[in-house]
Chains A and B, each alone.
Chain A
Amino acid sequence: MTTLTATKKMADCLKPGTSFIALLAGFLFLTACASTPPPTKEISAAEQSMIDAEQARVAQYALPELQEARSKLAAARTAVLNEEMEEAKRLAVEASAGIKFATAKAELAKAEAVNADMQKNIRVLKEEMQRTSGEQQ
């Protein structure tokens, strides 16, 4: 809200002609942007969870989700280079959220596989027993 009014004011000032105040305001605005620190914490958190996900073989079960997160992380690094810190932070946070979901999805897929295997074993045992007891009769 405040930034909006500020820009409006700035635009108003610029219209009639370049004024010192407007220039100053613009300068302050830019320096404010440039001085926002890079989202180091968010990016390194996303990087760490990416390493963890790779070690947990998440790609085997949730490849598209992991790839999406990976490209967001890369985009976050690019945004830092372009000094778009807000954008970089958002991308890093979204990458982390994406990796978290990919990991959870992979865990679910693994659990499903284990349970399916157990169920299959039970079925095989049952069938085997029915067959052998059938032979006996």
Chain B
Amino acid sequence: MKLSTSMNLKAQTKRGLHLSKPLIMALGSALILAACANSPKSPSGAVAARERLVQLQNDPALASRVSVAIREADDAVTAAEVPMKDKVKSDHLVFVATREVDVAWAQAKTRQLEDQRAGLSERRDSERLESRTREADRALDAAAQARADAEAARREIDELNAKETERGLVVTLGDMLFETGNAQLTGNAFANLGKLSNFLNKYPERSLVIEGHTDSVGSESSNQSLSQRRADSVRQYLLQQGVAANRLTAVGKGESYPVASNDSTSGRALNRRVEVIIAK
């Protein structure tokens, strides 16, 4: 027990001696530093370089990117800060220190910009993706719309009882539209023609030719004028429904284009007709 305490004591005194050495050294260097700090001869260029370096070091986001450049700049600034009478050498060291600080700043900003690129390209990619998605959606919408439009048009054409021919869509309006020998439209006509005017108003790019036809009963000239008047009254009706005049042409074809034999009653009934040809 006794022995160990005395040994401990010895060790403590030894340690105490060891501790005092660096203490003295630290004191010495502190004095030297104080002497340097007190000296007014540190060149103003070096002071300015130190300020800019400290500014960079105090910005952790920037400083962490260029630790090597900062260390080099620090060394150069420290060398320039030493006051000396040799003005040429002092100016030289200040020049080098200033440049090293400039380099550290430029490198730090460069690294920062480089680091921002990941975020930028991510943003660009997401913008591009969104734009593509919207484009695709729009294309899909447009295709769906086109299909729906075509479907609707087909349905309307079916309702008109139109026939596809090489001249276009032909809608045949039977002679029940008119009283015998008369060009006045009957009540029956309106339902059929209403569908036609709806169709025309929906597809304003389509123009049409209205052709009047008769059977062979009566004189050819009277049939010609009757067919023209009937075609005209259909045209007149469509004009009243808001179809533009330049889209409508009315022609009287007389008895020259029968679709059936004029020898039978039923054949003559088929030949008395108005054909509406809708251009494609």
- List residues of chain A with CB under 8 Å of any chain B CB: 4, 90, 93-94, 97-98, 100-101, 104-105, 107-108, 111-112, 114-115, 118-119, 121-122, 125-126, 128-129, 132-133, 136
Contacts and interface: CB of A to CB of B under 8 A. Distances in A.
B70 to A, nearest CB: 13
9 contacts: A100-B99, A100-B103, A108-B106, A112-B113, A115-B113, A125-B131, A129-B131, A132-B134, A133-B134
Contacts of A111: 109-110, 113-114
A107 B107 CA distance: 8
Contact of A105 (B88, B106, B121): B106
A4 to B, nearest CB: 8
A129 B127 contact: yes
Interface of B: 85, 88-89, 92, 95-96, 99-100, 102-103, 106-107, 109-110, 113-114, 116-117, 120-121, 123-124, 127-128, 130-131, 134-135, 138
Contact of A132 (B92, B123, B138): B138
A75 B241 CA distance: 96
Given A104-B103, A136-B138, A90 B121 contact: no
- Grouping DSSP codes into helix (H, G, I), strand (E, B) and loop, the B interface class, with mixed when no group exceeds half, is helix
Contact of B135 (A100, A108, A121, A132): A132
A82 B109 CA distance: 41
B88 A90 contact: yes
Contacts of B96: 93-94, 97
Contacts of A112: 113
Contact of A122 (B85, B99, B124, B134): B124
Nearest to B129: A125
Nearest to B131: A129
B175 to A, nearest CB: 49
Nearest to A104: B106
B102 A114 contact: no
A107 B106 contact: yes
Contacts of B89: 90
Given A114-B117, A119-B120, A108 B109 contact: yes
B33 to A, nearest CB: 21
